[in-house]
Structures are given as structure tokens and as C-alpha cells.
Structure 1
């Protein structure tokens, strides 16, 4: 398709047209009914951009050009005009403050398209996808935060002309640079406010105070005595995503039990003040050995209680999350026989069922691994066995219950006792002790440096504990003493990126998006439909959460 009638379509415009078509928009679509939503008029973007827009509007006096500013969701938050005709023309197409001018809603345009491709783009006349925009010529350029490098918004200049104008690109790029500089100055001001808050809270030498900013951590002497290096990564994770204050009890890496209270520092983008109050003078023991792999508050006690009980038990969790270790913890010192459902394809259903019905002599606990792999007939046979007296204690392991098919859910329901093991990516509080236990088992006298720990915590760990063990084993093959730094990590595990700042809720959202993309083969339109969100919202959340597909 040729938008201009006599020129070949530029690649970036052609790609934009394809994305727009996939969203269901048509060239004849009207733009006079776009939804208008509220926005933050005092955001850091608005504060940084205001003076720059004022100066830019002065330069454009006596022209038909206007300026539009969109935020990080591509919603228009400010406009400046020097000609009333342009203002009226934009009002007719709903290009007004509060309107989301993404490609999904308005087609190819100089706000939505730079937002998608993350670089400056000019769109002239017939290059616009929607007919209502073809009277305009415009250029848009994304605004990146100089510290995080995330897109804070898009700045656009638009005129009532179909012709390209050489003024657009250099004028907008200089304005964007000025806005980014003001964002940087705002970040420095944020650091000063964080320092003042820390100094005020640290006036009492007995208070253990930690100030956490985007790129640094401040601790007073009392906090320094309490914290070990890995604790800093845990504290950062606990405050991520908090908008006000949070209070909770916490066990530090040293075993010290403390009460944590964290509060967002007003006037900072991501500054938090944390106060730690020791709950007792004694230190809690840090579990060692294999049982520590499954450590979380109450889990060790739950497994110990189940080991003293009777009746079947279900242990559910992702592959590599410690299901087998938990099963052996329940068995304790009793003799265990393991029957793996994956062996059905090797020995056949009849032989596998025979082994199920006739445990080996002397076996006291029968562990059936991976019941989600069993057929309907084998599930029914196992359920009948559990209903009768099997003569041994039976422990079943499975994938998370939310992923089990109905036939397996019915089997799982026959177990009155159930344990759900969390994935490693959701066990930030325990990550350092887990890694320390693994290193001890590998007989390596190594310590994980805080920066390396933060990078490891930020990973998704689809292989869970098994994957972490493999990474640490590889490191110990190269060195056996000293600090593990980021440079010692495998290349794919070195970049903490923005996921290191994600809250638990954000990580759950990231998991849902990743799963939807995997199930749809990377098709973002289908993934958005499956998640019940728009394609533009999906793109926005992927950028914010660091999903790279």
C-alpha cells in the first residue's frame, strides 16, 4: 500500500500501518469519540516540561504549529497553540488533554508511533493511517529519564500542512534534551531530599536507619551493625512498589529478628526511609542443610508436623521448587520408595500400575512424583489405592494446583494435607540463605556480593532451585574463595535491569504476561485478548516490567 500515492512507504510507516491494522482500526475510523481520562497535572514530567514548552511556544509565534506532550501511557497531558485554527482542528479529532493517542486508538501518528518504536518519527500528510489525520504534518520524539532510561513521555510538534518541514526534528530534539536535563536536575533534588530525611532520622544513634534511593543505600552505624550485605537487596525488594508506608516483621541474614517500618519520602521518585527495631536480643537459628532449600516462615514446621502424621500428602509447586526435598522431609528417617510418573512412557502403564499396587518390601513411604503426567486410568487407580489402606504413607508431588487438569485435581482433592511451594522468584526474603546453604553444600568458601545478589534476585528462575544450584555450581568450578561479583555470574544473569525494582505484585503481573506470550507463540494481539487488556496496555506493561518478547 502506498500512502502518498507517488512514493514508496517508509519502513517505519509501513510497520506502523501493519500494527494499526492488527488492532482493528480502519482508515475511515472517526476520532471524535476518544475516551478522555484524568491525569496527574503535577507529575515530574509536567514539572520538567512546563518551562521548555513555554519557550518552544514563544519560538513558534505567528506559525500554524502546535506542541503536544504525552505521558508514559501516551496520554496527552499538555498542548500549546499560537493559532486558533490548529487548536480547533485538533479538538475535532479529540487530540485534547486526557486522550490516549496510541496507534491502537489513533493509528499512525507522531505521538503513538514514537511511543511504539522508541525513537523520533516524522509523519506527514497521507502517511497517517486514519483519514482524519492526513491534513497534518508532525514530528514526535520520546523523552527518556536520564537515570532509568525509561520513556517518560513523547513530545510532538504538529502543523496544518501535508508537507515535511525541516524545522521539526532539530527543534524537537533540542527541546527533548532540555526536558531530560530538567528531569536529571529533579533526580538530583530527589537525592538531596533523601539525604536530609536520612540525617533527620539518624539524629538518635540508637535508631537503626536505612535510606534507599534509586542508585544508592545509606545506613547509620546502628543499622550497619544489624545488616549483612545481602540484606540490602532484600530491603530494596520489600519497599519496591510501596506508595505510602509498610510495616512487618523480618528475619535478617544474620538471624536477627527485627520489626521493619518503611516510609516513602515525599518529593522523591523512589526514595524510602527504613527503620529497623530489634524484636529480641537473641538471634534466630538459620537453618542449614537440604531442608533449608524449602525455607519460608512456617514451612519447616509444617513439614515436621506432617512427618509425624498419617494419610496422603500433596506437595505442589513448579519444577525445581524443592518438591522432592519436601517429600523426603516428610518421610524423615523412614525408608522411601520413589515412583516417577515420567517412567510410564518407558515401562508402560501396566507395569507402572503394578509397581504402584505392590510397593517394595520394607518401604514405609511411597513418593509418587509428577502426578500431572498420569493418564485418566492411572489417576483413577491411584485414587482407589488412597481410598483403601495402601499399607504405606503416600506423598504425591505435582505442578501448581492452578495448572492441574480436572482429572488430576480430583486426585489431589483426596489428599487432606497439602503443601504449596512458592517459586524461587517470589522468595526474595529467603534468597540469600538459600544461596548460602547451596554454597555450603558445594563446600565453597564464597560470599555473594550485594550487587551480584541483586542481579540474581531479579531473574525469573523458571528452573527454580535446580537452576540456581546449577548457576552456583558453575561459579564454584571457576573459583572457591572470595566474593562472587556480577562479573562471576553467567552472562545471562548479570543484568538486574528494571526487574530488580519490581514489587511482588509486579512480578506476578510479569509472570502472567510472559505466560500469555508463550501460550500464543509471541502474538501480542492474542496475548492481550487472553489477558483482557488492550494491545497498547500490553506494550506499556511489557516495557515497564522488562518483558523483552
Structure 2
């Protein structure tokens, strides 16, 4: 067990120190490190990795979609074995998470060295696990060449690795990477060019093997995208493709909303025009046009048109007042933030559903030492509770947060109202409630509050999901570890849920998923089975939902292997297919 001498040191200082250490020992004459490598070192040090030794992690059994991808790539790469043997290199194929799926070896000595280092099929070579290497391309999304001592971990300093990501030509998602490894002494600048050519060949094979419907979809998208300045999307039941103009306009939740509307077009088979407000407040007009292949509809083209409001360009978003420690940018959030700021120092009553963040809103600009009183406690010792309330409000200056005002015992209503009304203008008075107390005939409890703020439930501000997920993920990620990123398919799945406990249930889910995350990304496949079931394209109720949850859990337990999952459920594989189609869940998606 080595001691990480860089732990606790600021990443910038640690990076400079590591560079000096390498230059004074293993650095060849005239050797300069690239900026890309230095940035990667800084990320690795910030994540707490030890340059003296990193340990590749063994992954679980490959998913079925990974095996299909590997077979398609194998058909291309197997023909390059002669070139590989002549170069005395090793070629590795990974999935999007950096798990090695296939390896082609051109040197026995190199093969033995890689086996000793656990750089073999089944192990993870992502940057977050082994540090700077060709696997960094999965994070940077750029072709990457890492030479000898440029590797973050010293056990790889005798090697050179070149890598680039493989992007599916239809969905435009990163599906894996190709990595070429050789001895440092055999380093060649041509390695990166060769690996890029191989990647292009694999991507061409993926396009060729795509279904006729997918090819029709992408061909129509290419025709529509001739004018690249106009935002265009192509959507099918399991694919969404955007051009750069659309990608700049849309966030994950925006895409989820477009996908939902496109699903209606797929069913109805006619074009529609719909108004769309994106997450930064800009308003668009979306035109949905069905794509036909002979007599069937295979997808939808979505053309986005920017609109103007009262003659002003919609590309200039309205500034949103900030609320310290809280996040959001939806229309509902902007309205809430403006109301809170407009209330100023007036006594404020914050009303909203349980878990919606009432207490956090009420605590904005409230001193951290401000006392908190819960009206539900008044029933235990009524006189003492009212006396404490009165005493706190008489302090000069004072601040008070009173929770659950609407649950004030009925026989204390008058006394509590009198105490609240006696608060001076120097008192910062805030209270929370699930409903406005006046609806129960106790208007006097509301009268002392100059502002009544209504907090929207999470269902009314789903556009804020990406911001909320990022914020909560940072909160539940261990110190010194970079928080994982939420992928659009996961955000889309979460946007379909009901969230009865609002932010409280969202935070519980985030904490659970982050604790189980093994890579730097969280996709739909990383969500619990009951969440995937609840987020299925059509609403499932009763026994249907229970059945979907059971089937999804079986698929997850068996890494997406349908034969094994069906056996565990005691049903035929054909029955499993039929049930999943009936429940509206696509077995070929990567949610398992």
C-alpha cells in the first residue's frame, strides 16, 4: 500500500509538483508534455488518484448491447491483424464506460505486460479509474496520444497509448473507444492517424448495419440539415439526433419534451405545430413532420423556429434574481425568485407541498443562527411555546423561522397572531405552511405577513431537473471526488415520474444512485428498476407496474441477458418479449 503524497494538495500545485518530479527523473531529453495531459493530471489528482499506483477495476458481465457492438467492430478490426502484428502493438475496444470488450495482440511480450497490468478484457480503463491514458478520450471526446511518462500512473510509463471515441452514426452517442498500445520506445505519431482511420471504418460498419428505418431517419436528417444554421432534430421511438444549432438551444428536459410530442406524431401520423419554451426562457415554434418508409412511419423531423416577443429578440434571456444556495431557471422558478426578492424584508409566509423546498426558500437571507420554531410543538406545552415565540420576537434586532404555521393549535390562534403582529419592522420574520391558514377560518394568522409566496411542486418545474441533479449530486459526492454527470436519457426518464414528495424524493434517489455510481456518468441504465418501470412510455398502474418492475429487475440482475432473465422469471423468452412490448418498454434500449 503506497502513501499518496499529493493527497490534500491543491490540484494546480500538485500538477506542477508532479511535472517537476517527472522531468527530474523519467523525462527524456527535449520531451514536452501536452496541455491536454496536464489538464488530465489535474483531474486525476483532484479525484484523489495516486500517481504511484492505480488499479484497473474489474467490471460486471458485459451487457448484451456491448456484445453486439463488439461483434460489429470485430468484423472490421479482425482484417487488420496483419498490420497489428507488424507494428507489435495491442488494439483494445472498450464500451462507453471504458470496459475493455475485445483485444487484438501483435506482440507476446506486450501482451504479457498488459496482462500483468490488468489491461485485459473485463477491466475498466477509464481515466477516473487508471488516470491519464488513451482512455482519457472517453472524457475529452478528442483523439488522445499519451506517451510514456505522460501517463498519470507510473506503472504505465513504459508504454504509449493512442485512443479515440467511437460515435454511433445514427444516435450520435459515444458507444465506445479504440485504443492502440505499444512500448514507449516504439512510439509513432502515425499511431493516432491509424487509430482514427480504424474508428472511421467501425463507424461506417455501424451505419451499414443499422436498420433500414434508422438509415431512412438519418438520410432524411442529412437532407434537412443542409442549412446548418437552422435547428433540426430527427426523432424515432428510441433515437434522437440533433444538429449543432438545435443542441445549443435544447437541454436534456427540452429534448424529453420534444420526444414526447414526437411520440404523438408517430401514433397519429400527421404533422403538427407546437409552441415551445426552452429552459433558458426562449420561445420557439416547433414543426413536427412524420418520416415515412413506404407505408410505415419510422420517425419525425422537428424543425425549430425562433420567435420574437414584442419585437425583442428572444435570444436575450430575462435575468433571474439569484437565491443563494438554490438553483433553477424554469419559468416557475424565475417567477418564484422574483417574488422572493420583491418581498424584501417584509414578513414572508412560504406555502407549498411537503418536500417542495419551503424551508429553504423561507431561509433565504435569514441569518444562520436564526431560531426555528415548529408550530406542531405548541400542543405539548402551549403556554411555554407562546412565551418563547413572544420573547424571540421582542429581541432587537431579531430573526425567526416558524415552520408549519397552518398546524398551529386552534385554541392558540389568537395568541400566536397577536405575537406575530407585535414583531417590529427590524424583525426578519419567515414562516412555512402546506396551505394558507386562512382557508381554515384563521385569517388572523396570515395577516401579519406582508408577502405570501407559493412554491411550485417539482412537477411544475421539471425544466430545472438538470440544475437540481447537478446541485444534489455535488452535495452527495464524497469530498475530493468529481461528481458524476447525468446523461440526457437519465434526465428524460426522471422527468416522467410523479415525485409525490417533490425535492425530498429526488434527493433520496440522487443519494442512492450516486452512492452506486462506478463511472463519471449516470445514464438511464444506472437508475433503480422501479424508476425505469415508472418512467416507461405509457402510464402503468396496479399489476402492470408491479410486473414491469419485476421484469426489469430480472433483466438488471442478469446484465440484460433476456434468456437468463426469462429463465429466472419462469417464463419463455418469447413470453418475455411479448410482455415487454405490451408494457411499452423497449428491450433494445440501454436502460438495463
Q: Please tell me the TM-score bracket, short chain as reference.
A: 0.3 to 0.5
Task: Tell me the TM-score normalized by structure 1.
Answer: 0.48
Task: Tell me the TM-score normalized by structure 2.
Answer: 0.45
